[in-house]
Amino acid sequence: MRIFDFRPEVGVAVSEKSDGSVGSLKPSKEEIETRRKLLRRCGFSLEEVIELNQVHGNRVFYLTQDNCKLWIGKKIPATDGVMTRLRRVPILLKTADCLPLVFFDSRAKGLAVVHCGWRGATKEIHLAALRQMKERFNTKFGDVFVWIGPAIRGCCFTSRREPRQKQRLEFGRYIEYNKDKWMVDFVGFVKHGLVKSGVKMKRIVDSRDCTYHGREWFSYQRHKIIGEPNGQEGTIVWLS
């Protein structure tokens, strides 16, 4: 497990392949035990965790003192993001090339945690999270800190077919044809959208980890291409 240095008020930890897979919708007994061990290392129990169903959409759920007890230990349905001001509530994301994103407003002490894959980026869940923070926390985008976690990068995300998003003007510069395949930089697209919305580049903390290049991570694309065992990293985020 790797602990990332993002903000003093925010804990961010990501499991590695050597820790084992955390699973997705229906984790096995081994994957549940992996989750338990990871959470324990972060100072939490499995019974405290908040988990999202992760449907590659753009819904961001607002977790409050009133509804928190309803969702502890359960999956919030039809959701790929959660925002909260609650302290010491661990939020779990599962990824295997998709992008874990963390937003933090230090003035409002508000946090948003987002699962953002290529489809989620197309639906602009990263911008939906910003809008929700503005609505709920009165956040100013220039005050937001953003953490960009391990994900497949433009160097390795390939497609044999031309992505339909190529026809959209805002995607053009992030989809290129190289020899016999299309290269997709969806992380670059997300970062560009954040900066264009008003997030300051100096407040974006990018891990720069590529899950395809880095053999310490699970990668769905590597699984498809070379047959590596499939699995999911777990990203655990909390307000301290």
169 has a pLDDT exceeding 70: no
With a cut of 70, say whether residue 166 has pLDDT above it.
no
The helix-helix angle for 186-197 and 125-137 (nearest 10°) equals: 30
User: Which tens digit of pLDDT belongs to each residue from 50-69?
Assistant: 999 999 999 999 999 999 99
Question: Positive or negative CA dihedral for 203, 79, 14, 120?
Answer: negative
Supply 131's token pair. Answer: 């809008």
Q: How far apart are CA 146 and CA 100, in angstroms?
A: 11
The pLDDT confidence band at residue 167, using thresholds 50, 70 and 90, is low
Start-to-end CA span in the chain (Å): 18
- What pLDDT shows up at residue 3? 98
User: Quick one: pLDDT band at residue 176, thresholds 50, 70, 90?
Assistant: confident
**Could you give the CA distance from residue 108 to residue 129 in angstroms, rounded to a whole number?**
15
The tens digit of pLDDT for each residue in 118-138 reads: 899 999 999 999 999 999 999
Distance CA 31, CA 54 (A): 17
Is residue 204 packed enough to be buried (19+ CB in 10 Å), middle (13-18) or exposed (0-12)? middle
Structure tokens that stand for 185 in this block: 């930089």
pLDDT at 14 over 80: yes
* pLDDT, tens digit (0-9, with 9 covering 90-100), for 90-113: 999 999 999 999 999 999 999 999
> DSSP code of 82?
E
- Which domains does the chain possess? 2-155+204-239 (3.60.140.10)
Both tokens of residue 36?
């338990």
